[in-house]
Amino acid sequence: MANIHPDLSPKGQPQGAIVDFIYQILNSIETICEQLDADGTVNDTDYEANCYTDIFTVRVTDQKGNYLPPASSGEYNITPGGLDEGALIEFMYQVHDSLETLTEQLDADSGVTDTTYEALCYTAIMLHDVENKKGEKLGNGNNFIFRPGAGLNSKEFVEWAYNVINAIETLTEQLDADGTVTDTDYEANGFTATMLTKVENAAGNVLGN
């Protein structure tokens, strides 16, 4: 572990590293959805529409000037020079919404063998609750809730960030191993090439690339 230098950890969360990390989440989810839509044996071709385009309204610009999504409501914009707490919590809620929608759609897709995506890649991993500005709540409850106006708990945010990486890696590995999904490079494309931030949780475990 001595040669691993996490970008986000309980000891520190630089604003630029947080912004790059949340940009990478968008990039990863978009990449996975686009690949599913193009996969020859996956029946549905509206993963990107349902699980990415229809959900994410917070535009994120990383430290290199890359931004996602390409279209935005303009209500929230996160940049390296402007990390608003309300925008971040809204984004976190949208990540939960996206991952839950994506895994539920995979479980219902008749072109996909496994029906445990939601159970294994969302319910078992995304253990925080997040409440959006409308008072709607998503998550699987570890007795900590992110909500607007409550202040961002930096320790719990790092745990949440670690869980997101874990969820995306678990999802892409399961897709690669799924018996009827044609492509076997979801992890390579949607995790290894996109999740470039290392996150260390409170237990000292590190995930990321």
75-117 per-position pLDDT tens digit? 789 999 888 999 999 999 999 999 999 999 999 999 999 999 9
Check residue 82 and give its pLDDT.
83
Which structural domain range is residue 153 located in?
15-196
The reply to whether 162 falls in a domain is yes
The H or E element containing residue 129 is strand 129-131
The reply to whether 209 falls in a domain is no
The reply to whether 203 falls in a domain is no
- Total structural domains within the chain: 1
CA–CA distance, 136 with 153 (Å, rounded to integer): 19
Q: Is the Cβ–Cβ distance between 182 and 41 less than 8 Å?
A: yes
The reply to whether 10 falls in a domain is no
Count, residues in the chain: 209
CA–CA distance, 142 with 196 (Å, rounded to integer): 27
Q: Six-digit token pair at 6?
A: 């996490």
The reply to whether 144 falls in a domain is yes
Please name which of 146, 187, 182 lies closest in space to residue 170, comparing C-alpha atoms: 187
The reply to whether 40 falls in a domain is yes
DSSP 8-state class, residue 69: S
Q: Over range 180-188, report the average pLDDT.
A: 98
The reply to whether 208 falls in a domain is no
Report if pTM > 0.85: yes
Check residue 4 and give its pLDDT.
57
CA–CA distance, 130 with 141 (Å, rounded to integer): 9
Check residue 1 and give its pLDDT.
36
